[in-house]
A and B are shown apart, each in its own frame.
Chain A
Amino acid sequence: SQTIHQWPATLVQPVGSPLSLECTVEGTSNPNLYWYRQAAGRGLQLLFYSVGIGQISSEVPQNLSASRPQDRQFILSSKKLLLSDSGFYLCAWSKMGVSNQPQHFGDGTRLSIL
């Protein structure tokens, strides 16, 4: 069966520090991968979308970047965190090339910027 791992679960970082959040998927090949951010009590905002290694689409201008160094690994990064980067970050995957498919989510990382 397929699983998705996301870490760390919580992170407290000072303003101006770097960030690296990692997400890995097991049990499937060539997944679509997604990074979302969720503000408290709100819906999900899509940040990045990837259909393959090295192929990243950015959905909104921001202080963050994403990379996909391996087929099932998706990394969210920042060189210098801002207060506005606080939030709940979720990674998800779906089957590539197949329509009408659900997305499968990790358990998220709660990021607090001080």
Chain B
Amino acid sequence: SQQGEEDPQALSIQEGENATMNCSYKTSINNLQWYRQNSGRGLVHLILIRSNEREKHSGRLRVTLDTSKKSSSLLITASRAADTASYFCATDARGSRLTFGEGTQLTVNP
């Protein structure tokens, strides 16, 4: 089964609202990464959080990591229509080989 599992599978919000996506994983990790994928395109790396970090920010993105619960969350604040995309978490339980979750499809309505 997948190492990372995102929740919810789909999320629809209005522009200006915050979007929160969650990721759970099963085994020990060195880091957890979040990626974004626009429809029909490749994945773009958003943020990497190491296992000894609890929170990380990048612009409107905030990522938290709870290794005791084996979970992470991605918060996008003040969402925009351009944030519409699929978001994936990925874990490095196998070193350089990442294991991706199934993704959350975010739709931001203008």
Contacts and interface: CB of A to CB of B under 8 A. Distances in A.
Nearest to A110: B40
- Interface size on B, as a range, is 20 to 34
A9 to B, nearest CB: 9
A32 B95 CA distance: 12
A43 B30 contact: no
Main secondary structure of the interface of B (DSSP, over half): strand
A44 B45 contact: no
Contacts of A90: 42-43
B88 interface: yes
Contact of B97 (A43, A49, A107, A110): A49
B42 A43 contact: no
B106 to A, nearest CB: 13
Interface stretch (A11-19, A65-73, A79-87, A96-104): A96-104
Given A100-B31, A102-B33, A43 B44 contact: no
Contacts of B40: 88, 108, 110
Contacts of B96: 32, 49, 51, 94, 96, 101
A100 B50 contact: yes
- Interface size on A, as a range, is 20 to 34
A100 B48 contact: yes
A44 B100 contact: yes
A7 interface: no
A88 B101 CA distance: 16
Contacts of A49: 96-97
Interface of A: 6, 32, 34, 41-44, 46, 49, 51, 59, 88, 90, 92, 94, 96, 99-108, 110
Interface of B: 2, 4, 30-31, 33, 40-45, 48, 50, 88, 90, 92, 95-103, 105
15 contacts: A32-B96, A41-B105, A43-B2, A43-B4, A43-B100, A44-B43, A44-B88, A46-B98, A96-B96, A103-B45, A104-B45, A105-B42, A105-B43, A106-B42, A110-B40
